[in-house]
Amino acid sequence: MKKILGISLMLMMVFALLTGCATTPAATAPAATEAAAATEAPAATAQAPAERTVIKFAAQADSTPATQAVVDAYNASQELYTVEWVDMTNDSGAMREQILTSMQAGSSDYDVLSMDVVWAGEFAAAGYIAPIDQLMQADGLKVSQFNAGSMTAGNYNAKQYTLPFFPDLGLLYFRKDIVSTEDAATLVSGKYTYADLQAMAEKYMGQGGTTDGIVFQAKLYEGLVCNLTEYTAGWTDVEGGLVALKAMVDSSASPADILNYSEGETHNSFIKGASVFARNWPYQWGMIASDGTISQDVVDVAPLPGGSTVGGWLLGINKNSVHQEGAWDFMKFVATDGQKIMSVQGGYLPGYNQMLTDADVIAANAMLSMPGFQNALATTISRPVSAHYSETSDAIMNAAHAYLSGEMELTAAVDAIKAALAN
Ligand code: GLC
CA distance 73 to 386: 38
Residues 53-168+312-369, CATH architecture: 3-Layer(aba) Sandwich (3.40)
Give burial (CB, 10 Å; 0-12/13-18/19+) of 144: exposed
- Residue 235 is classified by DSSP as T
| pLDDT (average), residues 61-81 | 97
- Residue 234 is classified by DSSP as T
In the predicted model, is pLDDT for residue 266 greater than 50? yes
- Tally of helices (H runs) and strands (E runs) in the chain: 19, 12
pTM of the model: 0.88
**Which of 60, 63, 92 for a ligand 1 pocket mutation test, highest count of atoms within 8 Å of Cβ?**
92
Query: Going by CA atoms, what residue is nearest to atom 12 of ligand 1?
Result: 223
Q: What is the pLDDT of residues 93-143, one digit of tens each?
A: 999 999 999 999 999 999 999 999 999 999 999 999 999 999 999 999 999
CA distance 389 to 117: 11
CA distance 194 to 214: 11
Assess whether the C-beta atom of 118 lies below 6 angstroms from ligand 1. yes
CA distance 1 to 4: 5
Query: CA 277, 175, 198: angle at the middle one, nearest 5?
Result: 35
| pLDDT (average), residues 83-95 | 96
CA distance 211 to 216: 15
Q: What is the pLDDT of residues 298-340, one digit of tens each?
A: 999 999 999 999 999 999 999 999 999 999 999 999 999 999 9
Q: State residue 385's pLDDT score.
A: 82
CB 176 within 8 A of CB 298: yes
Which superfamily does CATH assign the domain made up of 171-303+388-421 to?
Periplasmic binding protein-like II (3.40.190.10)
Assess whether the C-beta atom of 368 lies below 6 angstroms from ligand 1. no
- Residue 155 is classified by DSSP as E
Ligand 1: distance of its center to the CA of 226 in Å? 7
Phi, psi (deg, nearest 5) at residue 6: -65, -45
Backbone CA torsion sign across 246, 223, 153, 18: negative
Q: State residue 278's pLDDT score.
A: 99
Assess whether the C-beta atom of 313 lies below 6 angstroms from ligand 1. yes
Q: How many CA atoms lie within 13 A of 49 on its CB side?
A: 7
How confident is residue 423, by pLDDT bands cut at 50, 70 and 90?
confident
Helix spans in 310-388 (H): 324-335, 338-346, 359-364, 371-377
**Which of 67, 115, 227, 281 for a ligand 1 pocket mutation test, highest count of atoms within 8 Å of Cβ?**
281
Of 297, 285, 300, 309, the residue nearest 377 (C-alpha)? 309
- State the chain's mean pLDDT as an integer: 90
**DSSP string for 36-85:** HHHHHS----TTSPPPPEEEEEEEE--SSSHHHHHHHHHHHH-SSEEEEE
Q: From the alpha carbon of 116, which atom of ligand 1 is closest? A: 9
Domain with CATH 3.40.190.10 in the chain: 53-168+312-369, 171-303+388-421
Assess whether the C-beta atom of 116 lies below 6 angstroms from ligand 1. yes
Q: State residue 291's pLDDT score.
A: 96
Assess whether the C-beta atom of 168 lies below 6 angstroms from ligand 1. yes
Q: What is the pLDDT of residues 375-392, one digit of tens each?
A: 999 999 999 988 789 999
Q: State residue 48's pLDDT score.
A: 61
Query: Going by CA atoms, what residue is nearest to atom 3 of ligand 1?
Result: 311
For strand 163-169 and strand 308-317, is the pairing parallel, antiparallel, or unpaired? antiparallel
| One-letter identity of residue 179 | V
Assess whether the C-beta atom of 117 lies below 6 angstroms from ligand 1. yes
Q: From the alpha carbon of 91, which atom of ligand 1 is closest? A: 12
CB 178 within 8 A of CB 210: yes
For residue 131, give every residue at least 6 positions away whose Cβ sits within 8 Å of its Cβ, in sequence order, or none: 124, 159, 160, 161
For strand 275-280 and strand 380-381, is the pairing parallel, antiparallel, or unpaired? unpaired
Assess whether the C-beta atom of 223 lies below 6 angstroms from ligand 1. yes
How confident is residue 26, by pLDDT bands cut at 50, 70 and 90?
very low
